[in-house]
Amino acid sequence: MDPIIAWHTEHTYFHQLLGLLHREMDLFHRGEAPNYELMLDIVSYLREYADRVHHPREDVAFARLAQRCPDLGLALARLAQEHRVIAHAGENLRKLVQAALGGAVIQRAEIEVAAATYLVYYGNHIAKEEEDVLPRAAKVLTAEDWDAVRKAVRPSRDPLFGGGSEERFRELRRQIAVEA
């Protein structure tokens, strides 16, 4: 598959998941009971796949792109930094949701702040990459660059959108199908 199409496709999946998470947080804001299991599945998937496979590949693409387009250097460095912020925010949210599922008493504001931070950072991050990075990468990165990107992380099948059959994401797959 064309690497730009693959990159964009994953962003589309991640955006869809962020939309589901946002919907659950809307329930939370209205004082209704969100589906904490679904929220945990979303954040866990994004932590396990996006943070460990997608973002490391992007970091290599950013480094290659910065060499070829020095005018993008600062913006690419910020995006790479955002990968770390997103991972940290995601882990914080994951822990809070997991604790809530376990019956721990957590202040509403703590979950709201964690979710808002995660959703805003992640959504803006994807938009910036789609708008500024993908078009330039499509024009200037070479087959050698894309080979380096592909080799940045050991091959890993996407456990949710890659035809995975992991039981733990069964409900999330069902919810995505309902939304489609």
At residue 178, the pLDDT reads 83
Could you report the per-residue pLDDT of 120-172, keeping only the tens digit for each?
999 999 999 999 999 999 999 999 999 999 999 988 888 888 766 667 787 88
In the CATH scheme, what is the homologous superfamily, with its name and number, of domain 3-179? Answer: nmb1532 protein domain like (1.20.120.520)
Spatial contact of 22 and 40, defined as CB atoms under 8 Å apart: no
At residue 159, the pLDDT reads 86
CA distance 53 to 47: 9
Give the start-to-end residue ranges of the domains of the chain: 3-179
The conformation of residue 54, written as its DSSP 8-state character, comes to I
> Mean pLDDT of all residues in the chain?
93
Spatial contact of 87 and 47, defined as CB atoms under 8 Å apart: yes
At residue 171, the pLDDT reads 81
User: What are the DSSP calls for 75-141, one per residue?
Assistant: HHHHHHHHHHHHHHHHHHHHHHHHHHHTT----HHHHHHHHHHHHHHHHHHHHHIIIIIHHHHHHH-
